[in-house]
A and B are shown apart, each in its own frame.
Chain A
Amino acid sequence: SQQGEEDPQALSIQEGENATMNCSYKTSINNLQWYRQNSGRGLVHLILIRSNEREKHSGRLRVTLDTSKKSSSLLITASRAADTASYFCAQGDSTLGRLYFGRGTQLTVWP
């Protein structure tokens, strides 16, 4: 299976703290993406980082990519209760549009 893995499976923090989620994958990639899913809803695209990039920012999100270790991390700074959701990483390969999703990290942010 080419499915990646997120770590930890679950993360519980207080509002204002930073949340870090990690993703490991198995094969070479064109890009790596992070998605968010609120309970019972569809996934929403957060950020894409290409294989030749090492770091990318979007608002309170910071994504890093280490292709030598086949890993990525998503950092959410100054977390809010509204950030409570599942977060998935997905690896894009050479096939157009084909993504491999991990099992996700469940983030809970307590007020």
Chain B
Amino acid sequence: DVKVTQSSRYLVKRTGEKVFLECVQDMDHENMFWYRQDPGLGLRLIYFSYDVKMKEKGDIPEGYSVSREKKERFSLILESASTNQTSMYLCASETRNTIYFGEGSWLTVV
């Protein structure tokens, strides 16, 4: 079975903190994604990656960066967390036009 694992399910961080959200997939997929999901706004793509050390901006990259040093791992970084980044973050990997999602990370910035 396909598995995408997000290391933290629930986080509470302070404004200005640097936040790392980690995601690992075990399917050897080349494509990985970070989405943000907010009520009434659906899923919005933050960043995606087609290969190791490659990254592409999605629709809302401001305030975020990513790292992909190994094929199985795709990290989302909030350089200086702000309250408007309180949200649910979903990591995903893709093969044959099908996206497999992790369980999500609920981030609250106070």
Query: Please, which residues of chain B bring their CB within 8 A of the CB of A92?
Result: 97
**Chain B, residue nearest A45 (CB):** B98
Query: How many A-B Cβ pairs are below 8 Å?
Result: 54
**Chain A, residue nearest B100 (CB):** A45
B31 on interface, CB distance cutoff 8 Å: yes
Cβ contact of B42, chosen from A30, A41, A97, A101, cutoff 8 A: A101
Closest chain-A Cβ to B87's Cβ sits at a distance in Å of 13
Q: A60-111: which residues lie under 8 A (CB-CB) from chain B? A: 88, 90, 92, 96-99, 101-104
Q: Are B90 and A43 in contact (CB under 8 A)?
A: yes
Q: Mark the stretch among B12-20, B61-69, B78-86, B101-109 that contacts chain A.
A: B101-109
Residue contacts A-B, CB under 8 angstroms, 30 given: A1-B59, A30-B97, A33-B98, A33-B99, A35-B99, A40-B106, A41-B103, A41-B104, A42-B92, A42-B103, A42-B104, A43-B43, A43-B90, A44-B101, A45-B98, A45-B99, A48-B98, A88-B43, A90-B99, A96-B50, A97-B48, A97-B50, A97-B94, A97-B97, A98-B45, A99-B99, A101-B35, A101-B43, A103-B40, A104-B42
Q: Which residues in B have some Cβ–Cβ distance to A below 8 Å? A: 4, 31, 33, 35, 40-43, 45, 48, 50, 59, 90, 92, 94, 97-104, 106
